[in-house]
Amino acid sequence: MQEERSSFPPTAEATVEDLQQGSPIPEEDVVSNPSEASTEPQLKKPPIFYVSEENLSRTYPDNHRTPHLSRSTSLDHPPARSPIFRIGIPPPEYASKPTLISYYSQDSQEEGDLATPSVLFPSMRLLVAALLSCCFIALSISSSNMAVALICMTSCPIHGYGGELEWESDQEGLVLAAQNAGSLLMVVTGMWADRINGKWMVGMALVLCTLANAMLPLLAANSFWYAVAARLMIGMADACLMPAVNSLITRWFPQKERAAAIGIITGGRQIGTLFILPTAGYLCTRKDIKGGWPAIFYLSSIISLIVGIFWLPMGADKPSKQYCISRKERLFIESRIACESIGKRTEARRVPWNNLLKSSPLWAAIFALVCHEYPLVIMLQFLPNYMRDVLEFAPAKNGIISAMPILFLFLSKTIASSVSSWLETHTTWGKTKICKVFNGVASAGLALCTFIVPFCDKDRAVLAIAALSMSMFFAGLHTPGVITAMVQLAPPFSGIITGISFFIVAWFGIGNKILTKWIVQHGSQQEWAVVFYVSGIVAALPIIVFSIWGSAERQWWAAPSSRTSDSCCTMSGDLKNPSTSGSQDSPRFRCLEFFCGIGGFHIALKRICKRIDVVGAFDINTTTNAIYSYNFPTTELHQRNIQSLSAKFLDEKNADIWTLSPPCQPFVKKGLQLDLGDARCDALKCICDRIRVLNKPPRFIMVENVVGFRDSDAEQMLLEALEARSYHHEWYEINPLDYGIPNSRPRYYLLAKLTPDAVLSGKYLERWGSQFPQQIKDILCTDAAESEELLISVDTILKHRDVIDLVEPRSFRSSCFTKSYGTYIKGTGSYLVSNVPASHETLEFEKAHFLQIAAGEDKLEAVQRLGIRAFSVPEMCSLMGFEKDLRQPPNIMQHQMYKALGNSVNIFVVCHMLTRFTAGMSDSESSSAGDVGEGRLASVSVIRDTGTKVQLTLKAEGLRKRKSFFAALVSTFKKPSEPSKLCSNARFTEFTLTDRSLKFTINVLNLRGNKKKKGNERREEVFKCNIKQFPSRVNPDSATFEIMEPASGNCFILMNLIKVDNIMTNWKEFQSMNGTIDASTV
């Protein structure tokens, strides 16, 4: 049965990508039909969460206003069970998804905090796009004016018009080709574009255009070579402008806006051409205006000067340098492009020349660009000559008619860019597929229309003009095709790529102009037919090349190779050589996150072991990547297909740990269950292949997926790959309910280790008991409880009364939250009954009670009194174990957070699973024990903190049980009243637990297998833990302990403490405070 659809949260324009691999987290919500949404259940108001300024100021100083989710510690108010979020409703004008024209980010909205946007330009991105478009207008006018001016500058017997300059056809070709020769400088300026301020490079281009156009009329009459020099300067201006603009685009516009931005910006070329062609044709006939043709260049110079006057004070290299931009928009831009790791221009960056020059997608894009520009040069530079020679148009009419194909080019690229952005937002097409489709249609249509032109003479002038116009219309489709793909390949090196690409284009442009002038000696129709046939053949070539090797995905080698943050300095360190940030006794461990999602594994790893560095994360989902990069800005995040990761690349990472959460769609019960037949399994297949051939395989691998992954062909394939490399593995089916967490989320976990002392394979844990299960009320947020925006309307509740899952604050469970929570009602998660009826104050409110109320006569009022609402994002974070470790980026909406959390991992469970790994992460696995009686500190980690209970993990190395104890997986016991036996070779010699402190000592008899050396037979180690003061009082009589099966000589004791004060305190950070705890990480 199809799920009943709800309109909570309000739908907004978003992207749904077909995840062929990567995290199972989908991109964003699908835009629903407004007409359908009007009949569906709705909330009263669309909720938008943002962090309040008072919380920011309370936690951070003014110079460091990073959003922080504070907790309430006041005893005068009800305790907050999760991070405090203030609820706010966006103004109607900002209710839509951020675009180039309108934007809204979930940042602080305190009065006076943000700059007021301009009335004319509510988005500074639109202003920057308009300014850059004007720069292209000036450049296009300077580039195209010579095509018409040559007609009236040089002799022309047609219509009795004679020019002042006697230039041969070859000389005219050299003048036109000089501009392309100047563009060769682009290979140098492209390297500068990513290192120096783009604003000044654009300004330099405008200066060159101004000077060159002013010089040319004055010097051209004296010598032909002066004209060549002036046109050379125009080419140099193009060499400065193009790389700088592409570099600015990557810093000003998020990925989804770039196609539209490129269309607006590069549309200036066509606007300039549309303006100058008819204007130049008119000025040619008006010798009373500065002699006719010289006025063309003077006008071009004045336009370049005017654009420069506007650009210099209003342009900016990046949002942080634009003094007029609002804080909202700046945060929106910076958060959206954060995952691309573009970095600062002054940052030392090693260009990966070897990978760049060997990149097939890059060379496919360059080839397509050359084939696109070749016929375009014919149309822009020689179209007036063709109309003069074959169609026999007079100069004034020639300029007007020559502008018509350019008009079609401008319209098509503008429309196509908008359509491309719409397709990326509203369909499952990926960026690469969109670019290939547009580029293929463009090449085919351009080639076909170009082949028609040679069949037209002056008697079929209308058909010729129509064919030329349509060819330019198809040429405009290259903008969302290869032009956009080239910018997306490597944003940090966009200037260099632009320089290399247009350097090659410039060489072909020079050859094109010289070849065309060599072919067209007399201006006959047969000569021009050869020119158009060659252009048509060249235009058709990208249909094959770009469709096979082209790509619009960011390439793996495009990530910066250097980092400046301290946390990233350890990423390049070897395990045998400890990081300089730690002690010599504390080596770092390196981890790779595949299908990283929003970073659930990252958070769990950091909680379990502080010495783990995530040296790489991989996912293709832009929304989850934005969340990930916002929370872990120093981690190297790769937005790329996992299939593209070579074994050599993975060996270079030299990771100790791999975490994987492959797409679950091939294994879910409600799906098609295609298993390995699903394309979304291709990434897992690739990982299995890499495991078999790696020279440096990881020591630990952890896989998380739905329960349906068990006994699947994919699991069998993975196990075969692990066994081929002698991995020891174990698997679990665990539900958070087994830990006392009030949320059902059964999942499959696979742990694999290379070390020979790994535990046995098989299904070990089905339930880890907890004497004090948590209730829903422990995670409820006070602000959410008082908010009306999360309430579900009565009509919605009654319509879905048979399928809606209801819980109340005293409940010990809630349904699994899925990616569709808030969009659908059935099977997507539980909804909370805020106001339990008085008749059920001592009895848990159940579904049967609700159905009884919903069937009564006064059901509308009775249901409304229940206050049924959705769980807020912070509450869901608490249930999933993220708590304050996960922050919501300003540009990510609530429904996107629901999707991301609904497909993420449960941090509580993953932490417990990862302790099986951290057992093997001792400082020195081969080191011998110390002397008898030597004391060693035990490790203490806080796993969970609620208003009523805190859960600690105590870790001590060397507590090894005999094999006969392997069957006893978990032992649970009360606080020992006297020193007691812990396991076969360890015992408590001291144990003191009070309401404020904990002190214990464990003596371990370490039996050594090697008896050749004297003193190795029996050694006793002493482990000590001394927590001098808890942040809040606990009840020592209610404490329970769970001893977890030791692995690699380590023992983990899970300790549950009931808090007397029943308030939220900072247990997670208390161990780092001086004088509070005398225990360090082992």
**Joined tokens for residue 566:** 């301290």
pLDDT at 662: 93
In this prediction, residues 410-429 reach a mean pLDDT of 79
> Whole-angstrom Cα distance, residue 995 to residue 806?
37
- Provide mean pLDDT across the span 1072-1078: 42
- Check residue 844 and give its pLDDT: 58
pLDDT of residue 608: 75
| C-alpha span between 101 and 129 (Å, rounded) | 11
Residue 616: which of 579, 564, 563, 685 has the closest Cα? 563
Q: Mean pLDDT across the stretch 672-693?
A: 90
**Per-residue DSSP letter, 901:** H
pLDDT of residue 998: 80
In single-letter form, the type of residue at position 552 comes to A
Tell me which residue of 1079, 1068, 991, 998 sits closest to 1033, measured CA to CA: 998
> Is the pLDDT score of 104 beyond 50?
no
Query: What's the pLDDT at 11?
Result: 32
Mean per-residue pLDDT for 770-784? Answer: 70
Indicate if the pLDDT at residue 592 is higher than 90. Answer: yes
Do residues 152 and 165 make contact, with C-beta atoms less than 8 angstroms apart?
no
Across 366-375, 577-586, 600-609, least confident range:
577-586
Of 37-51, 128-142, 188-202, 290-304, which has the strongest mean pLDDT?
A: 128-142
Per-residue confidence (pLDDT) for residue 4, from 0 to 100: 39
Let me know: does 599 contact 886? Beta carbons within 8 Å. Answer: yes
pLDDT at residue 704, rounded to an integer: 94
Report whether pLDDT(658) > 90: yes
- Please state the three-class secondary structure of 14-51 as a single string: CCCCCCCCCCCCCCCCCCCCHHHHCCCCCECCCCEEEC
Q: What is the pLDDT of residues 530-557, one digit of tens each?
A: 888 888 898 888 888 888 888 887 776 7
Predicted confidence at residue 687, as pLDDT, reads 93
Section 715-719 average pLDDT? 92
Using the predicted structure, report yes or no on whether residue 583 has a pLDDT greater than 60.
Answer: no
Q: How many CB atoms lie within 10 A of CB 109?
A: 17
Rounded distance, CA 958 to CA 1007, Å? 10
Which of the pair, 366 or 350, is modelled with greater confidence?
366
The region that residue 632 occupies, defined by phi over 0 for left and psi between -120 and 50 for alpha, beta otherwise, is beta
The torsion defined by the Cα of 400, 402, 405 and 408, in degrees rounded to 10, comes to -30
Q: Is 869 left (phi over 0), alpha (psi -120 to 50) or beta?
A: beta
- Measured in degrees and rounded to the nearest 5, phi and psi for residue 485 equal -60, -40
Mean pLDDT of the chain: 70
Given the residues 664, 681, 816, 911, select the one marked as catalytic.
664
Rounded Cα gap, residues 590 and 568, in angstroms: 11
Counting residues of the chain whose pLDDT is more than 90, the rounded percentage is 6
Highest mean pLDDT: which range of 50-64, 241-255, 375-389, 771-785:
241-255
Q: What is the spatial distance between Cα 364 and Cα 481, in angstroms, rounded to a whole number?
A: 12
Nearest CA among 488, 424, 484, 481 for reference residue 623: 424
Assess contact for 996 and 1069: CB atoms under 8 A: no
pLDDT value for 62:
35
Closest CA to 682 of 665, 700, 696, 697: 665
CB 902 within 8 A of CB 84: no
Paired tokens of 865: 């009194």
C-alpha 1012/C-alpha 1069 separation (Å) is 46
Kindly write down the DSSP assignment for every residue of 995-1014, as one continuous string.
Answer: SS-EEEEEEEEEE-S--SST
* 129 SS3 class: helix
Q: Which of 500, 566, 543 has its CA nearest to residue 184?
A: 500
892-921: average pLDDT: 79
Assess contact for 820 and 5: CB atoms under 8 A: no
Whole-number pLDDT of residue 337: 65
User: Domain 125-549, what architecture?
Assistant: Up-down Bundle (1.20)
- What is the pLDDT at residue 715? 92
With 70 as the cut, is the pLDDT of residue 922 above it? no
Rounded Cα gap, residues 1050 and 755, in angstroms: 14
Segment among 59-63, 233-237, 469-473 with least mean pLDDT: 59-63
- Which two tokens mark 886? 């996960």
Q: Note whether 883 and 83 are within 8 A (CB).
A: yes
- Tokens standing for 187? 């290979």
Dig out the tokens for 729 from the structure.
């593995």
Q: Give the containing element (helix H, strand E) for 426.
A: helix 395-426
Residue 521 has pLDDT above 60, yes or no: yes
CA distances, 273 to each of 127, 145, 179, 233, 402 (Å): 22, 8, 16, 19, 9
Rounded Cα–Cα distance for residues 208 and 1050 (Å): 71
pLDDT at 989 over 90: no
Query: For residues 357, 360, 366 and 371, what is the CA-based torsion angle, rounded to 10 degrees?
Result: 140
pLDDT of residue 520: 82
Residue 983 to residue 974: CA distance in whole angstroms: 15
189 burial via Cβ count (<10 Å: 0-12, 13-18, 19+):
buried
Most confident listed range (24-38, 82-96, 180-194, 734-748)? 734-748
Q: What pLDDT sits at residue 709?
A: 92
Predicted confidence (pLDDT) per residue in 1038-1055, tens digit? 777 666 544 444 566 777
Q: Identify the band that residue 618 occupies on the pLDDT scale cut at 50, 70 and 90.
A: very high
Phi, psi of 949 (to 5 degrees): -145, 150
Q: Which residues pair with 951 in a beta bridge?
A: 944, 1056
Type of residue at 124: M
Tell me which H or E stretch contains 702: strand 700-705
pLDDT band at 718 (very low <50, low <70, confident <90, very high): very high
Mean pLDDT of 101-123: 39
The identity of residue 769, as a single letter, is G
Q: Is the peptide bond before 9 cis (omega within 30 degrees of 0)?
A: yes
pLDDT at 96 over 60: no
The answer to whether residue 169 scores a pLDDT higher than 80 is no
328 vs 1047 pLDDT, higher one: 328
Under 8 Å CB-to-CB from 170, ≥6 apart: which residues? 517, 518
Average pLDDT over residues 813-834: 85
Segment 881-898 mean pLDDT: 84
Upper half-sphere CA count for residue 258 (Cβ side, 13 Å) = 28
Q: What share of the chain is helix, strand, coil (3-state, %, to 5)?
A: 50, 15, 40
Chain centroid to CA 413: 26
Q: What are the residue boundaries of the structural domains of the chain, listed by start? A: 125-549, 922-1078
- Cβ neighbours, 10 Å, residue 285: 15
Distance CA 459, CA 115 (A): 62
Q: What is the mean pLDDT of residues 376-391?
A: 74
586 forms bridges with which residues in the sheet?
none
Alpha carbon separation from 120 to 102, 105, 116, 117, 124 (Å, rounded) = 12, 20, 12, 9, 10
The pLDDT tens digits of the residues spanning 438-471 come to: 888 988 998 898 888 888 877 787 888 888 888 8
| Band of pLDDT at residue 332, cut at 50, 70 and 90 | confident
Looking at per-residue pLDDT, the higher value among 96 and 950 belongs to 950
Q: Which of 576, 509, 536, 304 is nearest to 443 (CA)?
A: 536
Q: What is the pLDDT of residue 338?
A: 59
Q: How confident is the model at residue 320 (pLDDT cuts 50, 70, 90)?
A: confident
Q: How confident is the model at residue 212 (pLDDT cuts 50, 70, 90)?
A: confident
pLDDT per residue as tens digits for the range 471-508: 888 888 888 888 888 877 877 777 778 778 878 887 88
Q: Which helix (H) or strand (E) holds 600?
A: helix 600-608
Q: How, if at all, do strands 868-869 and 830-833 pair?
A: antiparallel
pLDDT at 695 over 50: yes
Looking at residue 339, what is its pLDDT?
A: 52
Is 568 a known active-site residue?
A: no
116 φψ region: left (φ > 0), alpha (ψ -120 to 50), beta (else): beta
Where residue 601 falls among pLDDT bands split at 50, 70, 90? very high
Which residues, 6 or more positions from 19, have their beta carbon under 8 angstroms from its beta carbon?
26, 27, 620, 621, 663, 680
Q: Is the dihedral of CA 950, 955, 956, 962 positive or negative?
A: positive
Judging by DSSP bridges, how do beta strands 1050-1059 and 1034-1047 pair with one another? Answer: antiparallel
